Chains A and B, each alone.
Chain A
Amino acid sequence: MEFLKLEIVTPGGVIFDDDVRQVTLPGADGEFGVLPQHAALVSLLDSGVIEIEKKDGSVTAVAINSGYCKVDEEKTLCVVDGAVALNDGDLAKTLEEVQELLQKAQASSTAIATAVSKVERIAKA
C-alpha cells in the first residue's frame, strides 16, 4: 500500500502530520481528491472540509476556513488560516466549533450546512 504524507499547518501550530492513503481537499475551483503520486499542484482552498483516509483505512475530517495547499508526488502540504479537527471528544461541541469557524470566514449558509453535515457523517461512520 502506498501512502502520501499529509501536513496541515495553522498559525496555532501543526494539527496533522502523518502518512495517509487519500485526502480530499476543498479547492477554490471545486473539490478534488489526492492520491499518492499525484502531479504537482498548488491550489487555493475554500472554506470546507478536508477528508482524510488514514493509514489504517479509517476516515477523519478537518474543517478549515481558507488557505493553500501544495501537492507534489509524495507530500501534500496545507497551509490554512483556521481549522477544527474531528476528535474523540464531544461531537456536538466540535460541530459547534466548525460552524463558528466557517461563520467567521463568511461562508454562505449552505456551505456551512454542507460542511457541518459532512463532519457529522464522517464522525458517525
Chain B
Amino acid sequence: MANLKELKRKIGSVKNTQKTTKAMKLVSSAKLRRTEELAKRSRVYASKLTQLLNEIAAKMKHMRAEGLDNVYFRETEPKQVDIVFITADKGLCGGFNAQTIKRVNALIESYRKQDVKVRLRAIGRKGIDYYRFNGMELSDEIVGLSSAPTYQEAAEFIAEVTDAYLKGHSDRVIMVHNGYVNMITQEIREDQLLPVDTSKLDLDQVSLSDLEMEPEDDDTLLEALVKRYLEYSIYYALIDSLAAEHSARMQAMDAATNNAKEMVKNLTIKYNKARQEAITTELIEIISGMEALK
C-alpha cells in the first residue's frame, strides 16, 4: 500500500525533526543560562558607571557658567542619523530578528519624512542579509559579534561610530536591539547613544560636597567617561540581545517540538485509519470472492 508507506515515512521524518528541535531547545536553554549570568554581573558595572557619569555631568552643569556644554551632550536638530542595530547571526528564533528589522524600518521611515538622512550600521548576519536583499546600503556589516560579544570588539566598533559623530558625519546615533526581559518575553529597545541622552540622567541632583577632579580638566575626565559609557552600552546591548536571542530560540524550538508532537499524533491516527481501511477492503475482497465461489 503506497499510502501506508508514505505515511510511515512522514511520521519518521517528523519524529526526527522533533528530535532536532528538542536538542536545539536544550542547547539554547543552557546558553541562555550562561548569558544571563554574564548580563547579571555586568549590570552592576553598568549601574556604577552610569552613576559616576551622572555625578560628573551634574557637577559640570552646576559649577560651570556655561553649564553642560560638551560635544557629547549637545542636542542639535539632526540632519544625519546613524542607526546601529543588532540582530542574530542565526535564524530559527521566531520573530526575534524580524521585530528588530521592523522597528528599524519604522525609524527609517519616520526620519525620511523629516528629511533626515539615515545611515545603517548592522551587527549580525540576519539584519545584513535582509537589507542587502532589499538593496539598502549598510555602512557597517559586522558578523560574529552578536553571537560571541567581546568587550574589545564592541569597543572598536563604537570608537568608529563615535569618531564619525565627532567629525560631524552624523548628529545622532541610535541603537536598536531586541532585549531580554525574562525567559518568555523579549522587548525591543531603542536607545540614543549620542548625544548622551540627558533625560536618563538625573542632572538636577544637588551635589553634596565639592568633588575634586583629577586630572583637573573636567572635559578630559568627562570625555573618557563618556567613551567608556558608550563602549559599555554597546557591550551590554550585545549581551542583552544574545540572551534575548537564546530565549526566543528556546521558545521557538519549544513550539516547534509541540507542533511536531501534534503532527505525529495526527499522522498516526491517519496511518491507523488507512491501515484499518486496507484490512477492511481486503476482507471484503476475500468474502466477496468466497461468495462468488458458492
Contacts and interface: CB of A to CB of B under 8 A. Distances in A.
Task: Tell me if B's interface is mostly helix, strand, loop or mixed.
Answer: helix
B215 A28 contact: yes
A12 B41 contact: yes
Interface stretch (B20-28, B47-55, B80-88, B260-268): B47-55
A68 B42 contact: no
B165 interface: no
A72 B51 CA distance: 14
Contacts of B42: 11-13
Nearest to B47: A9
B52 A41 contact: no
- Give chain A's interface residue range (CB within 8 Å of chain B): 20 to 34
A62 to B, nearest CB: 15
Contact of A79 (B41, B52, B211, B215): B52
B2 interface: no
Interface string B172-210: 000000000000000000000000000000000000111
A39 B41 contact: no
A83 to B, nearest CB: 11
Interface of B: 41-42, 44-45, 48-49, 52, 55-56, 151, 208-215, 220-221, 224-225, 228, 232, 235
Interface of A: 7, 9-14, 27-29, 39-44, 68, 70, 72-73, 77, 79, 81
Given A11-B232, A13-B44, A14-B41, 9 more contacts: A10-B45, A11-B42, A11-B45, A29-B214, A39-B209, A40-B210, A42-B52, A42-B221, A72-B209
